[in-house]
Amino acid sequence: MFHSIINRSSTIVLDDIKIRLISSQDVAKITTYYQKNRDFLKAWEPTRNELFFLELGWQKRVEQIATLHRHEMAFYFVIEDRSTDEIIGVINYSNLVKFPFHACHVGYSLDQDYQGRAIMRRALKETVNWMFEVKGFHRIMAAYMPHNKRSASVLHSVGFEEEGLAKAYLLIDGKWQDHVLTSLINQQWTAPATWSAT
């Protein structure tokens, strides 16, 4: 099941949602997602320039993401509502480092109208499993602002553990914000045959 997610015609299906890597066909839908949730996400994200909310900007961005996918430097997942095919959330794995770290960072957001349904919890768990089982990562790191109780709950429910507090860690909505640092360790990690230690 996990291997099929890279296949463009395949998805992870979880009852009411689908999770898959973003593609060039998603430009209009991902633009709509960010336009719709612009005010809702503002307090939780870096300040975005206007191009970020236009199809032209996302066309270029999706092309860049496709290159990152090909070189396995990042993975950008979209979450779709199965009943409408609307993009209702995103999960992105970035800063992928292989030997000897075998680690990356994860970030995510969810449509304001889909909060409180355990959607991100389920989607994050599935993509984390994929990163561990298929891509062979040992550690996935996530950070959240101390007052972001929803994000804390999602991460803890998936198994992320707190590792500390980073002062003025990220520039969010124009302000340097403290973040709680967390990580999830792949306890069944084995060295992937395709990764060289030299």
pLDDT value for 70: 92
- Spatial contact of 134 and 175, defined as CB atoms under 8 Å apart: no
Among the listed residues 107, 129, 92, 125, the one whose alpha carbon sits nearest the alpha carbon of residue 1: 129
Domain ranges of the chain: 3-137
Q: How far is 149 from 134, CA to CA, in rounded Å? A: 30
Q: In this predicted model, what pLDDT tens digit does every residue of 115-140 receive, in sequence order?
A: 999 999 999 999 999 999 889 999 99
Give residues with Cβ within 8 angstroms of 13, minimum separation 6.
82
Residue 197: pLDDT above 60? no
Chain mean pLDDT for the chain: 92
Residue 100: pLDDT above 70? yes
- For domain 3-137, give the CATH superfamily: Gcn5-related N-acetyltransferase (GNAT) (3.40.630.30)
Q: In this predicted model, what pLDDT tens digit does every residue of 16-61 receive, in sequence order?
A: 999 999 999 999 999 999 999 999 999 999 999 999 999 999 999 9
